């Protein structure tokens, strides 16, 4: 590994954690990120880090104290409601101090501040912005990497951290993802206290799982005053194309919502009142649990690129960060003499772990959209607490 150039494609939590851990070991690494700069607004729900994975990697990266300055105590508090917004379980009544209940210490942090603290931990110039990946071409023992900007760089080792729609994965395997049967419409309501006041009050600074009639809405409050949400419904795989909905047109999405959630209470319509919002459909896929591929000495992947899965167990960011930690452990192990062995050991462990988490996630998704979803989830949370 000494004197080798390492390229990480993708500047999400997994890629940035990997860069930090490698730099701590003294390795030369660059992160190529397609965003034009660091100030691009980070979409999506808040992230909750788990003790055995995301937090473990964060501690190894020496960033726990920095994290504690930015995480949002209380943002992990959950209310479970039925389809009429009636609360059936309320985490806010659980007064156990969060730091002491370590098994359930799953601190929430917004994506933007989390990315900023990871970037701040890196050497200046580590992240190369506006680097949209186009292709790889084998050269010597490594790769030439081509970007949309016209630039080309060489790396001895490339790590794909480019997410669920990875463009690099195909250089390792042609195993295709499997449609889960569920499609999410993700939305974000800015200035939600004014634009969605009743749901803002209901969320109480934390999260809402609303379940009923085999559908779901998951809400989370973000530190910038916005409310992010995911609807969960069973749709055909090609629904986004065949529905005829223009997902850039709020009124068309609202028309769909009123029809699809007609048997839910009108409280949820508040999600579509404001124009200060965005929406994007996301069909949910996962990779086969038994996926295998031949390891290469100069290319590997982590996070969603390797094992994408629906967000129903909160494992995505945690798995990506644990991947980063375990990959660095193998790459820097003193008893491993060559890169292919290191990569192969990492990938074997990662695939086994991802298979187990995928099964848990798919079961959780089924449970949350079953006829008895509300009862199941309420019982689950009562057991935890």
Feature table: binding site for NADPH: 41
> Per DSSP, what are the bridge partners of residue 144?
137, 154
Strands (E), 10-91: 28-32, 47-48, 78-81, 87-90
- Reported as half-sphere exposure (CB side, CA atoms, 13 A), residue 116 has a value of 13
Question: In three state form, how does the secondary structure of 356-369 look?
Answer: HHHHHHHHHHHHHC
User: Residue 216 phi/psi, 5° resolution?
Assistant: -145, 155
Other Cβ atoms less than 10 A from the Cβ of 81: the count is 22
Of 4, 114, 128, nearest to 57 by C-alpha is 114
SS3 state at 71: coil
Distance CA 245, CA 252 (A): 6
> Per DSSP, what are the bridge partners of residue 133?
147
Residue environment code for 305-316, b if the CB has 16+ CB neighbours within 10 A, otherwise e: bbbbbbbbbbbb
Distance CA 199, CA 210 (A): 11
Q: How far from 104 is each of 12, 46, 100, 241, 382, CA to CA, in Å?
A: 25, 17, 9, 40, 13
Of 312, 274, 369, nearest to 83 by C-alpha is 369
Q: How many residues does the chain have?
A: 385
Q: What share of the chain is helix, strand, coil (3-state, %, to 5)?
A: 35, 25, 40
Distance CA 336, CA 68 (A): 35
Which residues are known binding-site members for FAD? Answer: 48, 111, 304
Which residues are known binding-site members? Answer: 41, 48, 111, 304
Distance CA 42, CA 36 (A): 13
Other Cβ atoms less than 10 A from the Cβ of 298: the count is 19
Residues 6+ apart with CB under 8 A from 304: 163, 164, 166, 316, 320
């Amino acid at each position: 590994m000494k004197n080798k150039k390492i390229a990480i494609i993708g500047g999400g939590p997994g890629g940035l954690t990997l860069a930090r851990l490698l730099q701590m070991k003294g390795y030369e690494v660059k992160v190529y990120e397609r965003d034009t700069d660091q100030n691009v607004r980070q979409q999506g729900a808040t992230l909750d880090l788990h003790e055995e994975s995301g937090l473990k990697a964060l501690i190894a990266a020496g960033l726990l104290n920095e994290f504690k300055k930015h995480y949002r105590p209380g943002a992990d508090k959950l209310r479970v409601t039925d389809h009429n917004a009636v609360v059936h379980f309320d985490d806010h009544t659980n007064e156990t101090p969060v730091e002491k209940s370590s098994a359930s210490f799953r601190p929430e942090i917004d994506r933007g501040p989390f990315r900023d603290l990871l970037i701040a931990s890196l050497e200046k110039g580590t992240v190369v912005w506006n680097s949209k990946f186009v292709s790889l071409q084998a050269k010597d023992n490594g790769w030439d990497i081509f970007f949309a900007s016209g630039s080309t760089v060489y790396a001895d080792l490339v790590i794909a951290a480019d997410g669920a729609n990875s463009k690099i994965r195909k250089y390792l395997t042609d195993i295709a993802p499997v449609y889960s049967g569920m499609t999410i419409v993700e939305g974000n309501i800015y200035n939600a206290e004014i634009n969605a006041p009743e749901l803002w009050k209901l969320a109480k600074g934390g999260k809402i799982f609303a379940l009923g009639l085999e559908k779901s809405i998951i809400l989370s409050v973000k530190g910038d005053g916005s409310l992010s949400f995911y609807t969960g419904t069973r749709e055909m795989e090609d629904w986004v194309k065949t529905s005829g909905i223009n997902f850039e047109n709020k009124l068309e999405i609202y028309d769909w919502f009123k029809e699809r959630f007609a048997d839910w209470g009108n409280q949820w319509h508040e999600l579509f009142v404001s124009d200060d919002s965005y929406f994007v459909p996301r069909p949910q896929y996962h990779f086969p649990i038994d996926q295998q591929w031949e390891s290469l000495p100069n290319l590997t992947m982590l996070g969603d690129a390797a094992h994408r899965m629906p967000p129903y167990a909160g494992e995505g960011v945690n798995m990506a960060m644990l991947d980063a930690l375990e990959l660095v452990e193998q790459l820097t192990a003193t008893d491993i003499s060559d890169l292919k062995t290191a990569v192969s050991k990492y990938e074997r462990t990662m695939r086994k772990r991802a298979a187990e988490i995928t099964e848990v996630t798919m079961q959780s998704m089924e449970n949350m959209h079953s006829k008895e979803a509300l009862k199941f989830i309420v019982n689950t949370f009562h057991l935890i607490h």
